Amino acid sequence: MTNPLFYAKILLFGEYGIIEDSQGLTLPYSFYKGTLKFSSLDSEFERKSNEHLKKYADYLENLSLPDTFEINVSKFKEEISSGLFFDSNIPQGYGVGSSGALVAAIFERYSISKHEPENISKDELKNLRYVFGLMESYFHGKSSGIDPLICYMNLPILIESRESVDKVAIPASEAGKGAIFLIDSGMTGETGPMVQIFFEKMKTEGFRKTLKEEFIRYNNACIDSFLKKDMNPFFRNLKKLSHWAYEHFRPMIPESIFKVWKTGLDSNAYYLKLCGSGGGGYILGFTKDYEKAEKMLDGFNKEVIYRF
């Protein structure tokens, strides 16, 4: 059986803000990927994956999905008992969409009505996001559906608002001094508890106000200037966004990253932001001079995802 590969995703902008109607920009990341396979389940990894799929199939059996997005759960269960597992190198708890890729793979193989990603309209994207949100809620308690949507479409997606998403073209990566990169915090993070902290903060009027008036403004301005490849306003707003997160998202910033986050802000050599919910996993870095930033971040594992 050769099933398609589903890539990881990176939420470049919009972490937490998309819950409150900010824009978001998210990209597929082909360094990590997963696919459904059959085996005799000899390894512990394969057995564990197969067990997880069994539990997930029970969840899907009780899930009410719109008619055109129904899943053939009996076929899914049949194939699980024949040794189905999800072969993936996407790290869990790193904010790069491990559960999103799994949901996308299952939907692609078992949805009763077939959907062609390249022909999906903006309205269908909205419906698909809703369905994926229901399917992924099993893993996080509540899901926006964005992660599986990216993994399924394998295209950059612009989240325009809580209700609206669309496919978007991003400027081509090209050889240059600047880079967007990932930093490994060295620890895994759990989405659920981090989202809980955010909702607790949202009960405070002062936090709600600054999120709306500052975070969302800087976030949306970053997306706008990045898509136009207008790098001066991009970095100006990025610094404000990074500083805002340093002040207001402290519980979500892994301890190992805290000091270098501040160094970036003080030196203007690079700026850091959360990659997804934070609490561990990857942190995103942005710099006009990667060579310089790399030296300053010596000791951390880094992966360049985009050059300019």
d(C-alpha 59, C-alpha 149), whole Å = 20
The count of other CB atoms within 10 Å of the CB of residue 291 is: 9
The pLDDT assigned to 199 comes to 93
d(C-alpha 271, C-alpha 242), whole Å = 6
CA distances from 279 to 77, 91, 116, 233, 258 (A): 34, 14, 35, 28, 11
| Residue segments in the chain with a per-residue pLDDT below the cut of 70 | 1-2
d(C-alpha 301, C-alpha 255), whole Å = 16
d(C-alpha 183, C-alpha 281), whole Å = 8
Q: pLDDT by residue (tens digit) across 5-32?
A: 999 999 999 999 988 889 999 999 999 9
Contact 7, 28 (CB under 8 A): yes
The pLDDT assigned to 1 comes to 54
The pLDDT assigned to 90 comes to 94
DSSP SS3 for 158: strand
Instruction: Break the chain into its structural domains and give their ranges.
Output: 6-167, 179-307
The pLDDT assigned to 208 comes to 96
CA distances from 239 to 96, 116, 171 (A): 23, 39, 21
Whether 6-167 and 179-307 share one fold: the answer is no
Check: CATH 3.30.70.141 for 179-307? no
Residue 105 one-letter amino acid: A
First-last CA distance in the chain: 39
Q: pLDDT by residue (tens digit) across 72-93?
A: 999 999 999 999 999 999 998 8
Check: CATH 3.30.230.10 for 6-167? yes
Contact 6, 153 (CB under 8 A): no
d(C-alpha 213, C-alpha 207), whole Å = 10
Tokens of 110: 């078992």
String of DSSP letters for 68-114: GG-B-HHHHHHHHHTTEEEEE-PPTTSSS-HHHHHHHHHHHHHBSS-
208, 206, 264: which is closest to 235 by C-alpha?
Answer: 264
Contact 15, 273 (CB under 8 A): yes
